[in-house]
Amino acid sequence: MNRRYFLKNTSLAGFTISSLVTATPANAQPDNNTEDIKAIDIAEATIDDLQQRMKSNQLTSKALTAMYLKRIQSIDKNGPAINSVIEVNPDALSIAEALDKERKTGKIRGPLHGIPVLIKDNIDSGDKMMTTAGSLALVGNKAAKDAFIVKLLRDAGAVLLGKTNLSEFANFRSSHSTSGWSSRGGQTKCPYVLNRNPSGSSAGTGSAVAASLCTIGIGTETDGSIVSPSSVNGLVGIKPTVGLWSRSGIIPISATQDTAGPMARTVKDAAILLGALAGADSADAITAQSNGKVQKDYTTFLDATALSGKRLGFDKSTLRGNPDIVALINKTLELLKAHDATIVEIDLLKPVYALGDAEFEVLKYEFKDGLNKYLAGANAPVKSLKEVINFNNQHEATAMPFFKQELLIDSEEKGDLNSKEYTEALAKSTAARKVIDDLLQSNNLDAICGPTNGPACCIDLVNGDYDNGVSLSSPAAMAGYPHITVPMGFVHQLPVGFSFFSTAYEEPKIIALAYAFEQATKQRKAPEYLANIR
């Protein structure tokens, strides 16, 4: 069952919540010594665009970083005030300046050299920034070292610009939560229409990348939390195979399903980031399975003709609900056929949903186990899930002003990972792998495709999130398989994404399909920050 449904996951973008909490300000400002380089329009700028400008001395990383910091102040903290950045890195400018000095000596680490990146606030960074999962209970938690993927990010030459807001504890706190809200960071808004929320738990990364507050961003997903905010924010999001990217140093939900992944405005930018952060980590045993399967440069698979001759599975049960969305999906299927792809009707969602609540039970057991292990070694003032619950109860007015902590309590009541209920639920949930593999093999499919989910929902702090249409996140999430979403078009002024996924470590195949689809459709458009649907 899709976690977005049993959490009623999708909406929020409140205008008054920030007055109820204390969020860390974006306090790193461009200094007076920033190079006198003519400002450029960084909205929608790609990695290639920026690297070319830095190569030709039209731009430095320090000047670029200063431009993003200024944009964060003008768009994120003021103006439309989308509130996607929970904290900026006070060392961002000095990091960029050091990378500029390397460039001057001829040292270029790769395509990410000097590129500013925002990461989700559940990913450790061994610097002056906190890692809180958006929770007031974790305020003060400064990691002793970088998460493995953050170390790789720095090694690749990226500038860690700051951290993004998220649905608190990656939207695993309440059964009727509102996406994009955290007790520490307040409410994040969808930059396309400000009275709607950016969906999923990686809401802040989705809004920030869509609004060009960074070049690329990193989100995390258990079920839908990369692909859903990418879809509703007109982005490309890649949920990698579980094991392609390390999870060590990331506040967890599920050891079975968790992974971080790229969120970008183009397939190529997402592919660049995917390869840079892939690799085995001794602190995360599942990454050993990626040995021999990692591609360090996924851009080599970008092929504008990749749809030709491919067989794509499609579940027609996704053709229900909002007639505007159905019309958009049908138009997309005709486009795929026009590019010589064969659409094969399959029955995917029914057998996956038949697995019942097994996934949800797995998440509750693994959340308790994983969070207790993380907090035991962290610098947070709370050291266990039980202490988080107690903190929230003691600070109810600020920690739980709109919804409570039913999922935290339910998880705390679970036993350990030797429990019969857990092992049986795990076997049932991971049976999604067989469902997908059997469909791929029996129908000779290259991938499965369909709508990622519906458009962004309205903010509703009273009732929480609501169903915004058929979602395709759960099958790949439960299986731990790779999933990519690409902008498909708009329903009114709201973006909607289209998904491709396949079996384990087939990132090259789905990236190729997504790139061909992107080049054929060109549906990515910058947000207009509308107050309401026109």
d(CA 489, CA 71): 26
Cβ pair 367, 334 in contact under 8 A? no
Q: Which of 201, 246, 471, 473 is flagged as catalytic?
A: 201
Cβ pair 498, 517 in contact under 8 A? yes
Q: Is 225 a catalytic residue?
A: yes
d(CA 270, CA 274): 6
- With CA atoms as reference, report the closest residue to 206 among 478, 499, 497, 449: 497
Cβ pair 199, 167 in contact under 8 A? no
d(CA 46, CA 124): 26
- With CA atoms as reference, report the closest residue to 137 among 183, 188, 87, 88: 183
Write the DSSP symbol of residue 356: T
Within 63-175, strands assigned E span: 85-88, 116-120, 159-164
Beta-sheet pairing, 216-221 with 116-120? parallel
* 401 SS3 class: coil
Q: Is 231 a catalytic residue?
A: no
- With CA atoms as reference, report the closest residue to 248 among 151, 115, 382, 356: 151
Cβ pair 470, 454 in contact under 8 A? yes
d(CA 121, CA 220): 10
d(CA 156, CA 167): 28
Write the DSSP symbol of residue 179: T
Write the DSSP symbol of residue 382: -
d(CA 355, CA 477): 13
Q: Which of 62, 120, 239, 268 is flagged as catalytic?
A: 120
Q: Is 120 a catalytic residue?
A: yes
Looking at the DSSP bridge assignments, the partners of residue 237 are 263, 485
DSSP string, 123-136: B--SSSS---TT-G
Task: Name residue, tokens 């909406």.
Answer: 11
What contacts 120, CB < 8 A, 6 or more positions away? 163, 164, 166, 202, 204, 205, 217, 218, 219, 220, 260
Cβ pair 76, 83 in contact under 8 A? yes
Cβ pair 222, 120 in contact under 8 A? no
**Number of Cβ atoms within 10 Å of the Cβ of 168:** 33
* 473 SS3 class: helix
Q: Residue 471 carries which side chain, given as an amino acid letter?
A: S
**What number of residues does the chain have?**
534
Cβ pair 221, 259 in contact under 8 A? yes
User: What are the catalytic residues?
Assistant: 120, 201, 225
